[in-house]
Amino acid sequence: MESHPRGLDFRFFLTERSLISAIILEEIDYATLDSEISAEDIQKATTNFRILPVKPESNTVEMICYNFAHHFLRERAVRHALSYAVNREKIVRQFLLNRADLARGPFEKESRFHASGLKDFGYNPKKAIALLEEAGWLETNKERIRTRNGQPLRFRLLFPEGMLLKEQLVRQIKIDWNQIGIDVVPIPVSAAALNDSLRRGRFDAALVRNRFEEAATGLTSFFGDGSGKGSFSYANPGFQHTTNLSRNFMNENGLRQVVLRMQVLLNEDQAATFLFHPWLTIHIINAAKFENYLNQEGLPRPFQEWVIRRRP
């Protein structure tokens, strides 16, 4: 008679290195990773685990989100400068080994809501510096941190702790922003603490990965309706008006035009710095302990369908 897992016991790790050690010691049976380097470390150390790269859900995007209630992150010029200063091409090349698509907005190219005409905020540190100086942010101290009216251009960036890829991204983003005179303070937090900070609006900026539903509500459930309410305090009368219009469209073409317009407004505001759409999420499965863990398409089955291998 087949034996199936009776339930799940979740474990949380402060670092990806401690997670990898637990996998190698077979203290856990399943995990997901974003870093291929970590997956390779596991593969070199043990043959008991199946390393399974799987495409994430469509319209999954890594991005930097900003709190519009923050006293200078609410300024469009500052957000534009932040986006221009991030070398997204280097990030994708160096840390994702080119296994990701650069993102201009929330929807991937295959999506019916993909907006091909969005402005590209590609790497342009000179443009970023010009925008900051036009807004009155000048280098006036030895540390080369820009100030305005005696206030330094400094803010906190929350990111998920213990994940190698996130640490690499934040390190590069900090370098990029430092080069244009912005002092960012990275703060690693647990996934629960990050979600709570976003929900309560208690953050300056945050590195976030989100999957957007293909609908107008996919945008409004994340960014809000443009009224200034919600996690990011995003306020834009045009976005709010377009959100209200979206409720009146039932046909596909009308709804698509509304969603495209919403993306144009988000792009103009740089409500978030969209980084990339990842190609892969890596599933780590204890194949020595379980069988029947993949379906006919080669994707992981629900845990309750896994079969515990009989010991000889």
Q: Would you state the structure tokens that stand for residue 38, as one six-digit string? A: 């970590």
Tell me what pLDDT residue 248 has.
75
Mean pLDDT of 202-215: 96
Tell me what pLDDT residue 191 has.
87
Q: In whole angstroms, what is the distance from residue 34 CA to residue 53 CA?
A: 9
- CB environment 53-71: b (16+ within 10 A), e (fewer): eeebeebbbbbbbbbbbbe
Tell me what pLDDT residue 149 has.
93
Mean pLDDT of 127-148: 92
> For the chain, what percent of residues have pLDDT higher than 70?
99
pLDDT digits (tens, 9 = 90+) for 182-191: 999 999 998 8
Residue 1 has pLDDT above 90, yes or no: no
Q: How confident is the model at residue 312 (pLDDT cuts 50, 70, 90)?
A: low
In the chain, what are the helix, strand and coil shares in percent, each to the nearest 5?
Answer: 35, 20, 40
Mean pLDDT of 214-237: 93
83 or 96, which is more confident? 83
- Is residue 281 within 8 A of residue 31, CB to CB? The reply is no
Residue 252 has pLDDT above 70, yes or no: yes
Tell me what pLDDT residue 303 has.
87
Which CATH number is 60-211+273-278's, of 3.30.70.360, 3.10.105.10, 3.40.50.10860, 3.30.300.10? 3.10.105.10
Q: Write down the domain spans for the chain.
A: 16-55+280-308, 60-211+273-278
Short-list 279, 274, 265, 272, CA closest to 122: 274
Mean pLDDT of 62-79: 97
Strand partners, 207: 64
Short-list 189, 136, 150, 173, CA closest to 275: 173
